[in-house]
Amino acid sequence: MDQQEEIQALEAQKEIERILDAIKTEIPIYLYAQPGQNDVFTDVAKQAIRFFRQLTDKIVLREFDLNHESAKKLNVEYSPTLVFDPDRYNIRWLGAPLGEEGRIFLEALVLIGLQKSNLGEQSLQVIKRIDTPRNIKVFISASCPYCPQQALNALKAAVEKPELISLEIIDIQANPQLADQYSAHSVPQTFSNEILIAQGAQTEELFMLSLDRMEQQTVFIPENDAEEVETDLVIIGGGPAGLTAGIYAERSGLKTVVVEKGVLGGQVATTPIVENYPGLKQVGGKTLVDIMVTHALEYVQIFPGEEVIGITPGSPIIVQTTRRKFLTKTILIATGATHRNLGIPGEKRLSGHGVSYCSTCDGPLFKGRKVIVVGGGNSAATEALHLHHIGIDVTLIHRRDKLRAQDFLVTNLVQNNIPILFDSEVKEIRGKHRVEEVLIYNNKTKNLSTLSVSAVFIAIGYDPAVAIATQIGIELTEEGFIKHDNYRTNVPGIYTAGDVSGGYKQIVTAAGHGAEAAITIFEDLINPYWT
Ligand SMILES: Cc1cc2nc3c(=O)[nH]c(=O)nc-3n(C[C@H](O)[C@H](O)[C@H](O)COP(=O)(O)OP(=O)(O)OC[C@H]3O[C@@H](n4cnc5c(N)ncnc54)[C@H](O)[C@@H]3O)c2cc1C
């Protein structure tokens, strides 16, 4: 650990201590472990609890093996299992809090310790309607940046209604047999009473609605009128472009908000390693996001887990999100890009069951197994290298005779002996309940062949996320990006920056364009070019 990392770790520890300080009651945790079964995870669980016990004296740990009568009483079957405050709640963790999961564990301590769900008003209204038992299972992994959000939703539900809602948070690395049993081959995946109710992370309200209706919900219409917020600038998208624009705009004196529908950091949150961001020679994507978000929060208000679903141009411009309404003078569309689909048979059906678009999230489940990465650009090469380095037998499949990825990535693939099938197109993904094989067409020899694989990672590029822009007649370039002149779109008061506006798709360029766009907006608000 270098000096800067040491300082950051100390600051993080102090912050955790401050958060835990609010807890005034004891948090009993029962750790069930059977020697010889998943010992590595048991050790990690003990280390994690030891770490948190140094920061708060409220955790009361009791350790048992699986033969103990309390294990039978509580139906604990897997080693290790952590059971939280069993007299009050029915919340357990199968596995140990590793990596991203540390955040979930901290949130669990806080919610259970405070005996408060911290649910928003809209979610409370939905959960009030649930009047029959729900047993939630959330499958997560240590390297999945989306998992904490979904696990937190489930935790809040279980803390809010302990008499009806029970929760199992299941780490797929510690419990691959359970992941197989539920075909949970992408994370997060959420089941309630054995029914799949969500794939991926949801906003709090959508989670509660899915739990209420027992099927995945994609739209949440609030029962009350959304809250109204007046601003100078609404930034849509919390990726590098949006976050940087937020910092610049607030520092220029504009009342600004950032609205993010998914995970803050956008594509960077799912990037395993970034090696070309100035000042940071090599940094995990999620770490870079945390640094950016912490910085942005010093200035700008961020609304995470909230999707912009409509814009009405005018004065003010109205921005409708899944939770509230913003009345604003300007908008910056920084919605980035979303992954492209192959559009072949089996892809949609087996998505989440071996078909994946995020190697950092789902890779760990396929350790020691054979998988393919489809694509030939930087993302495909990066994903293949990442999977190889975590112990997966990976083959890269590309439809052309040469990769588009940068030279150093290609060299890296060769040095690591990662097989590449050139001139090859995946035509079908097959499997009854999970990916079992792919049908490959060689476009030179015209031969069809099959390859047995456990997973297909698709990395064939990204399409600009322009849906919200096209709804209101914003013009696009021929390539489908938002057309702009110095970040101004054809609709007065509406601007764009980052990947959605074309150009080089890099973190540093997105951040740079975000900064420039914010300055343009500031200048235009002083001297509106449209009047
Ligand atoms: C696998 C991978 C590896 C990469 N590696 C590197 C690298 O090593 N170095 C590098 O410089 N670049 C890398 N990139 C590219 C880089 O991540 C992008 O260029 C950059 O993230 C673009 O930033 P952005 O803010 O424009 O968009 P994004 O990062 O895409 O963020 C846009 C955000 O907008 C949100 N959003 C979309 N629609 C809405 C809506 N309606 N309401 C609210 N929010 C919305 C999205 O959820 C998203 O979080 C990589 C990309 C990928 C996918």
Query: DSSP per residue over 372-394, as a string?
Result: EEE--SHHHHHHHHHHHHTT-EE
Helices (H), 416-492: 467-470
* Segment 367-377 mean pLDDT: 96
Within 10 Å of residue 436's Cβ, how many Cβ atoms? Answer: 16
| Residue in the block written with tokens 């220029």 | 252
Residue 51, pLDDT above cutoff 70: yes
Ligand 1 atom with least separation from CA of 306: 43
- Which residue's alpha carbon is at the smallest distance from atom 41 of ligand 1? 308
Distance of CA 337 to the CA centre of its chain: 15
Contact 458, 374 (CB under 8 A): yes
If you take atom 38 of ligand 1, which residue's CA is the nearest one?
335
- pLDDT tier at 226 (50, 70, 90 boundaries)? low
4-17 per-position pLDDT tens digit: 667 777 777 788 88
Query: Is the CB–ligand 1 distance for residue 260 below 6 Å?
Result: yes
Q: How confident is the model at residue 31 (pLDDT cuts 50, 70, 90)?
A: very high
What is the predicted pLDDT for the residue at 335?
A: 98
Atom 51 (ligand 1) nearest CA:
267
Q: Among 210-219, 254-263, 407-416, 430-439, which is the least confidently predicted range?
A: 210-219
| DSSP letter assigned to residue 215 | S
Q: What are phi and psi of 279, to 5 degrees?
A: 95, -20
Alpha-carbon span 239 to 258, nearest angstrom:
10
pLDDT tier, 1 (very low <50, low <70, confident <90, very high otherwise): low
Mean pLDDT of 169-175: 95
Q: 3-state DSSP call for residue 450?
A: strand
Helix (H, G, I), strand (E, B) or coil at 507: helix
Average pLDDT of span 158-180: 96
DSSP secondary structure of 110-158:
HHHHHT-----HHHHHHHHT--S-EEEEEEE-TT-TTHHHHHHHHHHHH
Cα(465) to centroid of ligand 1, in Å? Answer: 10
The residues that bridge with 397 in the sheet, in sequence order, are 374, 421
In one letter, which amino acid is 407? Answer: D
**337 CB within 6 A, ligand 1:** yes
- Give the type of residue at 24: K
* Mean pLDDT value across residues 224-228: 66
pTM value is 0.68
What count of other Cβ atoms lies within 10 Å of the Cβ of residue 96?
Answer: 28
Q: Which residues are catalytic?
A: 358, 361-362
Residue 505 CA to ligand 1 centre (angstroms): 9
* Residue 504 CA, closest ligand 1 atom number: 19
Is residue 268 in contact with ligand 1, taking CB distance under 6 Å? yes
Q: Is the CB of 521 under 6 A from ligand 1?
A: no
Ligand 1 pocket test, candidate residues 271, 286, 338, 385, most atoms within 8 A of CB? 271
For residue range 112-148, list pLDDT tens digits in order. Answer: 999 999 999 889 999 999 999 999 999 999 988 889 9
Ligand 1 contact via 507 beta carbon (within 6 Å)? yes
Q: Is the CB of 149 under 6 A from ligand 1?
A: no
Is the pLDDT reported for residue 414 higher than 80?
yes
Please tell me the predicted confidence (pLDDT) of residue 222.
57
Closest atom of ligand 1 relative to the 508 alpha carbon: 11
| The predicted structure's pLDDT at residue 428 | 98
CB 189 within 8 A of CB 352: yes
pLDDT value for 286 = 83
Give me the pLDDT at residue 219, please. Answer: 65
Query: With 90 as the cut, is the pLDDT of residue 528 above it?
Result: no
Q: From CA 9, how far away is CA 3, in angstroms rounded? A: 10
* Residues 252-311 pLDDT 10s: 999 999 999 988 899 998 887 788 899 998 888 888 998 999 899 899 999 988 899 999
Rounded distance between C-alpha atoms, residue 142 and residue 360, angstroms: 9
Task: Please check the confidence at residue 449 and state whether its pLDDT lies above 60.
Answer: yes
pLDDT value at residue 22 = 86
- Average pLDDT of every residue of the chain: 93
Answer yes or no: is the C-beta of 506 below 6 A from any ligand 1 atom: yes
pLDDT confidence band for 225 (50 / 70 / 90): low
**Ligand 1 centroid, distance to 484 Cα (angstroms):** 19
Rounded distance from Cα 139 to ligand 1 centre (Å)? 25
The pLDDT, as a whole number, for residue 322 is 86
Q: Cα separation of 419 and 416, whole Å? A: 9
Higher per-residue pLDDT: 505 or 288 = 288
At how many degrees (to 10) do helices 147-160 and 121-128 cross? 60
CA distance 266 to 257: 16
**Which atom belonging to ligand 1 lies closest to the Cα atom of 467?**
41
Pocket test for ligand 1, best of 507, 509, 513, 516 (most atoms within 8 A of CB): 507
Angle formed at CA 180 by CA 207 and CA 188, multiple of 5 degrees: 25
Lowest mean pLDDT among 217-226, 237-246, 301-310, 474-483: 217-226
CA 62 – ligand 1 centroid, Å: 44
